[in-house]
Amino acid sequence: MGKPTGFLEYPRELPTDRRPAERIRDWQEFHLPFEKEKLRIQGARCMDCGTPFCHSGIQIGGMTSGCPINNLIPEWNDLVYRGFWEEALIHLQKTNNFPEFTGRVCPAPCEGSCVLGISEPPVTIKNIECSIIDTGFEENWLVPEQPARLTGKKVAVVGSGPAGLACAAQLNKAGHLVTVFERHDRIGGLLMYGIPNMKLDKGIVQRRIDLMAECGVKFITNTDVGRDYSTQRMLKEFDAIVLCAGSTKPRNLQVEERDLKNIIFAMEFLHANTKSILDSNHQDGNYISARDKDVIIIGGGDTGTDCVATSIRHGCKSVVQFEILQKQPSKRLPNNPWPQWPRINRLDYGQEEAVHLFGCDPREYCIMTKKFVGDHNGNVKEAHTVGIEWKKDDNGRFLPVEMPGTGRVWPTQLVILSMGFLGPEDTLIDKFSIERDERSNVNAEYGKYATNKKGIFAAGDMRRGQSLVVWAINEGRGAARECDRYLMGSTSLP
């Protein structure tokens, strides 16, 4: 490393975000850029550790430790410290097709396993990564690169989320003629419609899609394969197919009066909101507004946080986020040692905005929804809950146990269900006669990605279940490699 003692000399520093009072009035990204000199100093904190766990990408304790796409983190940290930004970009792109996405929305398991993090705050890996790619675009270092040769082989990629886009980009580099099919009106999958604009600006997404199109990738929107475009036609017209349609079947809440109006799924809420912003800046009214409503969000994950932030920008009367699990500690516990992902309490951007606006964290822990109550028009008006505690049963499994006397009634006019996903939708899989695993995902071995149908591969959430954007990129790249091997007999793709 250029500064072997940097980690001893410099503290961890991140750029400031836009103030909550300002950012809740618009839909622009809340992150602010960082000065180049400060980024250089943060790169100097990378400590030349003997074994850099940050790019290990392994599973420990059921959680990801290190970067799943094995980013060459120490290398580009050192290059940033030395001021070699273009070289840092080259190293970054060796493993990551879309650093501008992961640098914004990835929870950064790399930082959780940073060796410096054993005793000090870890290196600001995610921020440096994002700054490298943003600098690359600003300096026009990213230009369309046509493949050196064309193979004449045609590949269909179904789904344009991070797995599908990564797969398409890699197959295009190998010289195949790639067509990406997307059932919605814009390319990007969850990057476009599942993540709000203030977290990932859609101009950033479109910029990458435009670059891919200039490189030769063909995109077809408003086309639902299996319905609008028959699977038989696809099998006839393409030499190989890669399914990357995601895990989009939402987990429902089976309680009394679930069918009342204004009890909706998170993706329904977020998708319509972003589409209305892009189509008309909300002028068309084609979205579900939280204005002047008491909003309840059931689910404590990232998507639930996005729903909190979106509801606040609509002008909600109040917002509360139910979490059935207990609150995480402020620091690692002994049963959660490095380099495991740190299971600690974090105040994300949506909760930070709620604290600013309403004076408290919107999250309620160890709470279970028992039923809903509606008004005379069939609209939800109340949520009835009970507190729970987690106790082990005779087999050692933790189960929720209701606590007497903890019942509570919450006024609400909008309930958003954000409890994750159960697997991919049925139509596409059934039409291709693809085998499933015990969790209803596409049955395709990790690392090989081949389904039971010759020439059809699967990657991303559709194969592994709901996961991180960075895992989707990992799988998209891997499926492209195996698809190329199938088409050509060998492959040079990583």
Interval 256-284: pLDDT, tens: 999 999 999 999 999 999 999 999 999 99
The Cα-based distances of 154 to 237, 240, 343 in angstroms read: 8, 7, 44
Q: What is the predicted pLDDT for the residue at 48?
A: 84
Q: What is the predicted pLDDT for the residue at 7?
A: 94
Q: Indicate if the alpha-carbon torsion angle 22, 25, 28, 30 is positive or negative.
A: positive
Q: What is the predicted pLDDT for the residue at 433?
A: 97
Q: Which residues in 193-335 belong to E strands, given as ranges? A: 218-220, 240-243, 249-250, 263-265, 294-298, 318-323
Distance CA 249, CA 246 (A): 9
Global pTM reads 0.96
CATH 1.10.1060.10 domain extents, the chain: 6-138
pLDDT digits (tens, 9 = 90+) for 37-51: 999 999 999 998 989
Report whether 443 contacts 457 (CB < 8 A). Answer: no
CATH number of 6-138: 1.10.1060.10
pLDDT digits (tens, 9 = 90+) for 367-419: 999 999 999 999 999 999 999 999 999 888 999 999 999 999 999 999 999 99
Structure tokens at 7: 């980690």
Compute how many other C-beta atoms are within 10 angstroms of the C-beta atom of residue 61.
12
Identify the segments of the chain with pLDDT beneath 50.
none
Structure tokens at 52: 């850099």
Secondary-structure class of domain 154-248+422-488 per CATH: alpha beta
The Cα-based distances of 25 to 18, 275, 284, 313, 360 in angstroms read: 11, 18, 19, 6, 19
- The two most distant CA atoms of the chain are separated, in Å, by 71
Q: Which amino acid is at 131?
A: S
Q: What is the predicted pLDDT for the residue at 172?
A: 98
Helix (H) or strand (E) holding 360: none
Distance CA 164, CA 103 (A): 19
CATH 3.50.50.60 domain extents, the chain: 154-248+422-488, 252-419
Q: What is the predicted pLDDT for the residue at 396?
A: 87
- Domain spanning 252-419: CATH superfamily: FAD/NAD(P)-binding domain (3.50.50.60)
Q: What is the predicted pLDDT for the residue at 394?
A: 87
